[in-house]
Structure 1
Amino acid sequence: MSEVTSWTPYPGGAPANVACALTKLGTPSAFVGCVGKDAEGEELVQLLQSIGVNTSGIQYSEQAPTRQVYVTRTAQGDRTFAGFGDKKADRFADAYLQAQHLPPKLFLEAEYLVLGTLELAYPQTRAAVFRALELAEEYHLKIVLDVNWRPMFWLDEQEALPLIEELWQYVDFLKLAEEEAQWLFDTADAGAISARLSSVEGVLVSNGDAEVSYCISDNEGTVKPIKVSVKDTTGAGDAFLAGFIHQLCLQGMQKLNSPQVAQEIVRYACAVGGLTATKSGAIAAQPSAQEVEALLQKI
């Protein structure tokens, strides 16, 4: 791309970003995915391990390389996904996660299963998603879904909507960007979406640095994110989600009935996302719990 002046490689990807952000905040996490037996895969695994993420759920592909995604960034820090270079979307290791090798022990020890929708794009990972949902049901995990819509990952975009809608019956907490909410529900109001999906316990609709609409245990409201100096928005939404899950783990489900607690949880998530946007490289930019508390005390 002629307007790009330089490329800097950063290991990451939404599931890895969330797992790392959780561990940095103090909530133990595990990453489940498939990487290639290559330098990029090794770098990601080493990074996860150095942060303290449980990597026992990682599978390795002998044939396919670790996925690399090109991301362009404006001077204002806004990012755009620019594709996969010269490879087709289904030619990467993460498209070959095998359902039969998901370790039940991870589900036994967990409280939450966090999913995106990209894994639905390929037959093998799709089977793994539904196997993970079976295990989550068996071990009584709460399901958190970040829609994380990325059309470039799909070979046939027409397949996406019905497959995403299959997940609604499983979801306990749903996070969407405003454009995803409009696409899927014709509204960006979290309360209206929650009413449509009667089984969910929480809905978050984010929109960059604009207000977050939330509905948690029937407590509805909006939170205006704290103003920060934005350098790179890559991974900020993943960090926001990690902040939310971290607070769910700390507060416990019983406290979600409190309107004040619901608002504090979303404000905390906004602080984690905001701080991540102040530095480059999604995982490298993620804050500690102390940095988040320091920012919240300023307001």
Structure 2
Amino acid sequence: MTTPDILCIGSVLWDIIGRSPSAMRAGSDVPGRITRIPGGVAMNIAMTLANFGLRPALLSAVGRDAEGEELVREAGRLGLMTETLYRSEDLPTDSYMAVEGANGLIAAIADAHSLEQVGDKILRPLSDGRIATEAAPWAGPVALDGNLTRDLLARIAASPLFRAADLRVAPASPGKAERLLALVGHPSACFYVNREEAGLICQTDFADAGSAARGLVQRGVHRALVTDGGRMAAEARGDDLRTAQPPEVLVTRVTGAGDTFMAAHIASEVQGMAPDAALSRALHAAASYVSGETPQ
């Protein structure tokens, strides 16, 4: 098997997104468009990494149902390595449903029950020789998402399979942000969160991304990157703090924006960009994404 540039561990599913150009509230019934596209945090990150020229491998659970077969074919067409997926015979392929209006995300439901049920079976390629072994663990970057259970994230934090890895972690949603507490204190974990998620992890309210990034580091996070919509973003590690302003764009979609930011930042660092340039490139990629363009 070809050696991947990065491992993407977490949710790989179908996104069903309803979007309307109208502002919406609870109970709204408006015209719009409904699309079904490959999604899930790990999948979104992998697709963006491929756009930046990297070769990502997917470690997740996908059913052998019709939806799963179609999803695997599409992932392969997009240049993602799928040989590392756990293919369940009896569990359905997961899905995510969201409704977005002109005023942003209205509501979303993530059905990642199959991923949660298979547990550490998705990690088998890290010990059976397809990617690595216990004696020779994976030493490259890993994009890890919070759709994994708190128990599995805790096991990953302590596992020798990840002792040499560069862990990059996303919470998947504010509702799952506290699952990342299992990785606080890990010597290489880098958290990619928004200001709300940082507040949930630290159990406080932050006024801006800079204070949120510092708060995470003080909480024990090795490194933190915090976004805040169109406001200033920040990165903190130790006593160092850098900030950058995202470009102003017309927002046409929001689901997947944080994943795009994370993937673009990882790709930029893997490709040797300096810290300030990597942060700026990631913010521009996310801005291009939410404006409806393809990040480059």
Do Structure 1 and Structure 2 share a fold, with TM-score over 0.5?
Answer: yes
Q: What's the CA shift for 1:216?
A: 4.4
Q: What's the CA shift for 1:40?
A: 2.2
Note if contact 2:153-2:182 (Cα within 8 Å) is conserved in structure 1.
Answer: no
Listed as ranges, the matches of 1:233-252 within 5 Å are 233-251=254-272
Instruction: Answer 1 or 2: higher relative contact order, Cα 8 Å, separation at least 6.
Output: 1
Q: What's the CA shift for 1:42?
A: 2.0
Paired with 1:286 and 1:106, the residues of 2 have a C-alpha distance of 30
DSSP 3-state at the match of 1:211: strand
CA RMSD of aligned residues (A): 2.6
Q: Does 1:272 align with 2:285?
A: yes
CA deviation string 1:214-257 (max 9, x = no partner): 124643122111122221111111000001101121127xxxxx
Higher strand residue share: 2
Match of 1:82 among 98, 104, 108: 108
Q: What residue identity is the alignment partner of 2:58?
A: F
Partner residue, 1:115 = 144
Partner residue, 1:72 = 99
CA deviation string 1:11-45 (max 9, x = no partner): 21111000110111012211110012223222221
Percentage identity across paired residues of the two chains: 23
Paired with 1:10 and 1:96, the residues of 2 have a C-alpha distance of 23
Match of 1:130 among 155, 163, 172: 155
Match of 2:275 among 262, 272, 296: 262
Note if contact 1:60-1:93 (Cα within 8 Å) is conserved in structure 2.
Answer: no
TM-score of the pair, normalised by structure 2 = 0.76
Note if contact 1:99-1:127 (Cα within 8 Å) is conserved in structure 2.
Answer: yes
DSSP 3-state at the match of 1:82: strand
Q: Does 1:57 align with 2:84?
A: yes
Match of 1:167 among 169, 172, 183: 183
Deviates more, 1:126-135 or 1:263-272: 126-135
Listed as ranges, the matches of 1:1-299 within 5 Å are 3-5=29-31, 6-76=33-103, 78-83=104-109, 89=111, 92-100=113-121, 102-104=124-126, 105-107=130-132, 111-120=140-149, 126-127=151-152, 130-131=155-156, 134-138=159-163, 140-151=164-175, 161=178, 163-170=179-186, 171-185=188-202, 186=204, 187=206, 188=209, 189=211, 190-197=213-220, 200=222, 202-216=223-237, 218-251=239-272, 261-279=274-292, 286-287=294-295, 292=296
1:98–1:192 CA distance, 2 compared to 1 (3 A)? closer
Paired with 2:61 and 2:107, the residues of 1 have a C-alpha distance of 21
TM-score of the pair, normalised by structure 1 = 0.75
1:131–1:196 CA distance, 2 compared to 1 (3 A)? closer
Paired with 1:229 and 1:270, the residues of 2 have a C-alpha distance of 14
Q: What's the CA shift for 1:275?
A: 1.1
Note if contact 2:99-2:105 (Cα within 8 Å) is conserved in structure 1.
Answer: yes
1:13–1:195 CA distance, 2 compared to 1 (3 A)? same
CA deviation string 1:243-272 (max 9, x = no partner): 1101121127xxxxxxxx322111111011
Higher helix residue share: 1
Structure 2 unaligned blocks of 5 or more: 1-26
Note if contact 1:99-1:131 (Cα within 8 Å) is conserved in structure 2.
Answer: no
Partner residue, 1:297 = none
CA deviation string 1:67-87 (max 9, x = no partner): 2221001025x2244326xxx
Paired with 2:54 and 2:139, the residues of 1 have a C-alpha distance of 11
Partner residue, 2:8 = none
Note if contact 1:212-1:224 (Cα within 8 Å) is conserved in structure 2.
Answer: yes
Paired with 2:118 and 2:49, the residues of 1 have a C-alpha distance of 22
Q: What residue identity is the alignment partner of 2:125?
A: P
Structure 1 unaligned blocks of 5 or more: 154-159, 253-260, 280-284, 293-299
Paired with 2:254 and 2:87, the residues of 1 have a C-alpha distance of 29
1:132–1:65 CA distance, 2 compared to 1 (3 A)? farther
